[in-house]
Structure 1
Amino acid sequence: MMRPKKILLVDDNDDYQKLLSKNLTKDGFIIETANNGLQALDVLKEGNFTPDLLLIDLMMPEMSGLELLKKLKDNKSTHKSKFVMLTAKNNIKEITQAFELGASEYLLKTDNLIVMLEKIYEICEIEHTVRANRKNDFISILEVTNVIHDFKVISYDDNTLTLITEQELPLHATIKVNNKKIKTLKNTHYPVACEVQECRIEDDGIKVICTFLDQAA
């Protein structure tokens, strides 16, 4: 039986980190996490965790993903590890720098969760089909990072929200809306959760109709 693969996930977004590590753990990986490059170096310095794969966010405070790669270039504890960068945007310059520093691949945070897991299995050279979709399991990573820059609020009332987006969202997925007027409507300081009920192509983009959930995101 093949030993479980070890992954060090380095990302400063708590929601994203928890979602990805939870699902990777469900799929049999052994996961350690760090909120920035300095914490990642501390995990590796202890010598108790030798990762097969490091998933490293490009944009982080204190020490960026590129700076961490530079530090790890001659690190004995990771000389057999694979480095994969996580990025919210296709920044060719930064991605090129990452490859020059030893990264073997990059993954977009906007990929949906199932696609993300499949890519990680492929990178780890594991022949495996990820879990079948279950309700609320197939969601876009974009939906849990509160990064909703490509969403335009069209209309809303106490129960329903209509958005124009650039990408289609799965029906019944839960998204978080970080919009000042919506947060005021729901009397909260936090992003507001709603469920996708309808998604259709319009002339100016993809129209998404959602209903608000009871709890704030």
Structure 2
Amino acid sequence: NKEKLYLSVKDSGIGIPEEEKEKVFRRFYQSKNHLIYPVHGQSGTGIGLYLTKQLVEALGGNIWVKNNRQAGTTFRIILPLHSSNPLSQVPDVIAQNGNDEADNNVQNLREWQRERLSILVVEDNRDMCRYVCSILSPYYNTLEASNGVEAYEILEHYNVDFIISDLMMPKMDGLELSKKVKENFTLSHIPFLMLTAKTSEKARTDSYRMGVDSYIVKPFDEDMLLTRIRNILETRERYQQKFVDEMSVETLEISEESNDKKFMDQVMGVMNDNYQNSSFEVTDFAEAMGVSKSLLNKKLKALSGKSAGEFIRIYRLNLAYNIILQNKKTKNKNIADVAYDVGFNDPKYFTRCFSRQFNITPSNLLEK
């Protein structure tokens, strides 16, 4: 007996064949008889009706389609009708309670969560952009841009951990955007995934040449998109762990010509010149690199997985590990000597740091 809202949207087109009526709500489905209305060289994506059905059903309603007697099609929607909008009360609840329930309401409003990575989705087709964000939003914070120009402005004002961009867009396309990102020192570390309808070898080559990490051909599967993102991030983490173990820039698999490779080479040079100085810390590190402390931390965290302070400590500990291995034969240094040699001024603190890093004490490694 609940009140319901009835919506009817009618067109005067060619209608939909009976056998395709249910198919039109499938993701990426396009009727063989559909008309093409190009927008920036593109036709529809087959996303709009799929998203509409998802939204209607999420609200407890139904949607169906019927052909008109004379011409065209009518889409009909029935939704349960509420006397007030439940979400309109959420800010008051949050302000009054500030409890776990309120926190859940904030999450339902899709506010950002600090512990999540943030992904920028660049896509000029609004339906496709929202569809991609709907896939990502359960796992990541999302930002939206309709072209490369908007995306670049967002990148200059927000901390973004990953970029997903369409290839063909007005004002600035995906290739130009990826080129600008990779040329900008403050942004060049951000992974870049290209979405494209082009499958030619040249399109792939051009994408990789511009610094794109990977690409996906439209239409794509939701799990494929999430898996590709996860694989890119996990591969980077494996490279970072190998780098921390070996302290060799080559293990990061960074392009030789890239700004990031030059940055990491400079980082290693600065550390090599200063690791013995026990007073050398993050402020000195940033000054030697010619960047701010915040940018130094941002770049090092993105490329090595470590903050500047952690990087200094791990660099020294890796050197100490190698010195101890060499000292097994010569026996000319004790643990305190090794600690002082690599810039620690407290052997006890050095031992605690070493043990946490390598799961073995310096003395046990020496005697092993």
Distance in 1 between residues matched to 2:168 and 2:225, nearest whole Å: 19
C-alpha distance in 2, partners of 1:72/1:120?
18
- Which of 232, 248, 265 is the matching residue for 1:123? 232
**1:26-72: per-residue Cα shift (whole Å, max 9, x none)?**
1x2011110000000110122xx222211111111111111112221
Task: Give the match for residue 10 of structure 1.
Answer: 122
Equivalences for residues 129-148 of structure 1 within 5 A: none
Q: Does 1:92 align with 2:201?
A: yes
- Provide, for residues 124-166 of structure 1, a one-character-per-residue CA deviation record: whole Å limited to 9, x for no partner: 229xxxxxxxxxxxxxxxxxxxxxxxxxxxxxxxxxxxxxxxx
Distance in 1 of aligned mates of 2:149 and 2:140? 23
| Structure showing greater Rg | 2
Cα distance in 2 between the residues matched to 1:33 and 1:87: 17
* Deviation of 1:7 (Å): 0.8
**What's the CA shift string for 1:60-115, capped at 9, x where partnerless?**
11111111122212213322211111111312212211111111111112222222
Q: Which residue of the other structure, out of 110, 132, 146, is the alignment partner of 1:20? A: 132
The residue matched to 2:150 in structure 1 has which SS?
Answer: helix
List gaps (5 residues or longer) in structure 2.
Answer: 1-113, 236-368
Q: Does 1:41 align with 2:140?
A: no
Measure the CA separation in 1 of the matches of 2:166 and 2:190. Answer: 16
Give the aligned partner of residue 173 of structure 1.
none
The 3-state SS of whatever aligns with 1:9 is strand
Query: 2 CA distance for matches of 1:105 and 1:39?
Result: 22
SS at match of 1:51: coil
Pairing of 1:186-205 with structure 2 (within 5 A): none
SS in 1 for 2:216: strand
Query: What is the root-mean-square deviation of aligned Cα atoms in Å?
Result: 1.8
SS of the residue corresponding to residue 103 of structure 1 reads coil
Q: 2:162 aligns with which of 25, 28, 53?
A: 53
Query: Does residue 1:31 correspond to 2:113, yes or no?
Result: no
Assess if the C-alpha contact under 8 Å between 1:7 and 1:51 holds in 2: yes
SS at match of 1:116: helix
Matches within 5 A, 1:205-216: none
* Other structure's SS at 2:170 match: coil
What SS is found at the alignment partner of 2:165? strand
- Map of 1:150 onto structure 2: none
The residue type equivalent to 2:134 in the other structure is K
- Distance (Å, rounded) in 2 between the aligned partners of 1:78 and 1:32: 16
**Greater relative contact order structure (CA < 8 Å, 6+ sep):** 1
Contact 1:10 1:36 (C-alpha < 8 Å) held by counterparts:
yes
* Letter of the 1:67 counterpart: E
Q: Which residue of 2 aligns with 1:102?
A: 211
1:50–1:78 Cα contact (<8 Å) kept = no
Normalized per residue, the structure richer in strand is 1
Separation in 1, partners of 2:129, 2:159: 19
Determine the structure 2 residue equivalent to 1:157: none
Letter in 2 for 1:29: Y
**Contact 2:147/2:169 (8 A) holds in 1:** yes
Q: What amino acid maps onto 1:32 in structure 2? A: L
SS in 2 for 1:86: strand
Please give the alpha-carbon distance, in whole angstroms, between the structure 1 residues aligned to 2:182 and 2:205: 16
